[in-house]
A and B are shown apart, each in its own frame.
Chain A
């Protein structure tokens, strides 16, 4: 069974509305995430609500990626 991670992303330190999207893996802290045209780094991640079946529900806070 394929696990699916539904993630709520909130961006810190920048005017950004945040995003919700599915991912095929649980992001790690420090991992780079692309939301549309912008790239960010995962600063915090936790389970928002308990998983149901193959769906996991996460929340991640992001910081602007520095090249």
Chain B
């Protein structure tokens, strides 16, 4: 499938022009993972943003106390993004991520290429940063509902 057909259904890119979408598609790389494969590791440097094209991933947090066990905090499916925190704040990965299903397909964007695009095109940069904030807000609302 053409990456543009995937990207146009992802909230992160809602509001950008078809031409801008084509530019984004040009810096996307497609990867496939099998169930159980590690995609990112908590605490490691993060230089990529991920978009779930098909399948599921699980987001796993290990609390920073020595006796705590890793815990899955949410599963993400089609159309969802992860890795956006490291993209914005340049910090280490806040969680580990594993593929939950076989043939989990992801689109991957390198941070430097992504930030370069946002710097060159402020309309694109504004829309995407607004959409990243909205996505983080949605994830926070989800966590509140899990805890209710």
Contact = CB atoms under 8 A, between A and B. Distances in A.
Given A2-B9, A22-B79, A36-B101, A54 B138 contact: no
Interface residues of A, number: 22
A19 B14 contact: no
- Nearest 9 pairs of A and B residues by beta carbon: A21-B77, A22-B79, A19-B75, A8-B142, A17-B72, A36-B56, A36-B100, A18-B146, A22-B78
Contacts of A19: 56, 74-77
A52 B141 contact: no
Interface of B: 9-11, 14-15, 52, 56, 58-59, 71-80, 100-101, 134, 138-139, 141-142, 145-146
The A contact surface, by secondary structure, is strand
A43 interface: no
Given A18-B74, A19-B56, A53-B15, A4 B142 contact: no
